[in-house]
Amino acid sequence: MTTDSPITDEAARDAGVEVKPVAGHIGAEISGVDLAADLDDTVIAAIRAAVLRWKVVFFRGQRLDHTGHVAFARRFGETVVLPRRGKASPPDFPEIETTADRLELGGRFGMEHDEWLRRRRHTLLRGWHCDHGARIDPPAATILRAETVPPHGGDTTWSNLAAAYAGLSASLREFVDGLRAEHRLGVGYQPRPGDDAYVRHLLDRQVASLHPLVRVHPETGERILSVNGYYVEQIAGLSRPESSAILDMLLEQAVRPEYTVRFRWEPGSVAFWDNRATMHLAPGDTAHLGHPRIMHRVMLAGDVPAGVDGKPSEAITGTAPGRW
């Protein structure tokens, strides 16, 4: 996702776009826009500027279908085509992943969905993540569309990692600026006793990268606290006890309520977030409701993160820029 030119709040209003912040550090609701329409470049610029400023933006009452969803995403960058998806994803739209696929995942490995979820979130912080954070080039942004949601529950929460970094003391910022952490697929999963088919699945498809613990945002220049509850377990150059203590402290900082926003979904809602500057927590309160929650996402291709020293991330295994 790239910025062609800055746009002022006044220019956005002139284009008929209203951006209304919904929390102190993150999140804004955008109205006056029909995402299924052929949007003017000024409107696209206003949305792009709002995403960069507020990290996640929300649209309500949209009438996007799969074609419109992909077309809208392409106005902001190259869309990711996933080589492997579940049966719920639309076969004719390789850019779209339907999140109901995740409900099937545990069953393929002998687990009910609630057990699979518990093993991925066996601590309070484990569920927080950015999309595909173990890749050398995590997606720049994600656009998620709600088709069917429960009558209650199912909210998603996001955290502003730029604000979390800025909220650290100056001494701690200086310390973490020079650190790097290994992001690895599946390190947050708690194995089942005995043979675990899901662990074998993860090992067969291992993905890992060494990312700066503080990355510089390629468009805004902000310093981003690049922590991740699900993919990160070890800071390079530190012992495991040191690494664990520092990561827990940084994760707790990142998800402090003042740096977060929680969104109540409705059918037709769309959330568009900067995956480089946020992490999010998918809901864990819907399995017992007996009501479907069907969401569709499209991701935009990202770049290789760079640290404060300008040094880029390093691929460890199973990942290469632009190759999914």
Q: Is 154:286 a contact under the CB 8 Å cutoff?
A: yes
Residues 78-95 have pLDDT tens digits of: 999 998 888 889 999 999
Residue 8 pLDDT class (50, 70, 90 cuts): low
Which residues, 6+ apart, have CB-to-CB distance to 123 below 8 Å?
Answer: none
| 108 catalytically annotated | no
Q: One of 48, 119, 297, 303 is an active-site residue; which one?
A: 297
| 280 catalytically annotated | yes
Q: One of 121, 180, 276, 280 is an active-site residue; which one?
A: 280
| 297 catalytically annotated | yes
Instruction: Kindly tell me the sign of the dihedral angle through the C-alpha atoms of 106, 318, 98, 278.
Output: positive
Question: In this predicted structure, which of 5-9, 86-90, 273-277 has the lowest mean pLDDT?
Answer: 5-9
| 25 catalytically annotated | no
**pLDDT at residue number 190:** 79
First to last CA, the chain: 18
Single pTM value for the model: 0.93
Q: One of 129, 132, 135, 276 is an active-site residue; which one?
A: 129
Q: Is 222:194 a contact under the CB 8 Å cutoff?
A: no
What is the DSSP code (8-state) at residue 320?
A: B
Q: One of 131, 137, 274, 303 is an active-site residue; which one?
A: 131
